[in-house]
Amino acid sequence: MEEHIHAQGHEHVRAEHTSTFEVTTDDYLTPAGDCILAINADRAPADFDPDFITACQDADATITVTIEADGHTETVTGRGDPALEYTNERSAVGRTSDYVDDRTIMVGAEFAADGFDRDLIEALAAGADVTVTFRVE
């Protein structure tokens, strides 16, 4: 199963956070938002299909997030968790830890914002259009 979000980069995208990455519906980004990869998302976790959410709540689920912008693509893999809510109406956050809140879309991510390809991050910092694909298996 898949879900898709369309968003855009921003000049303040730095992708330096070591434990999270985020895509937000907010229309702004301050330099302090070092985990945020894209803004102006057209959807949030609360908009995802209930069947997709149920599949992500399986502790054995594999969740992948693929970010595509300006010809650059990066995929990060994590896992599901029974505590995942997918109820946040603003932000989707991937975490390398096991911490879960209403923004969390995966736990145990293989890397965070600082692990994304730097060419992709440069495209995001230049304001590129972004497609984010969420897949659960």
Q: For position 69, what pLDDT does the model report?
A: 98
Long-range contacts of 29-35 (CB under 8 A, 24+ apart): 34/113, 35/93, 35/112, 35/113
Sequence-separated (6 or more) residues with CB below 8 Å from residue 40: 7, 8, 25, 26, 27
Q: For position 15, what pLDDT does the model report?
A: 96
Average pLDDT on 109-120 reads: 98
CA 29/CA 20 separation, integer angstroms? 16
Q: Which domains does the chain have, with CATH numbers?
A: 2-136 (2.60.120.630)
Q: How confident is the model at residue 54 (pLDDT cuts 50, 70, 90)?
A: very high
Q: How confident is the model at residue 98 (pLDDT cuts 50, 70, 90)?
A: very high
**pLDDT digits 0-9 by tens, 57-76:** 999 999 999 999 999 999 99
**pLDDT digits 0-9 by tens, 99-113:** 999 999 999 999 999
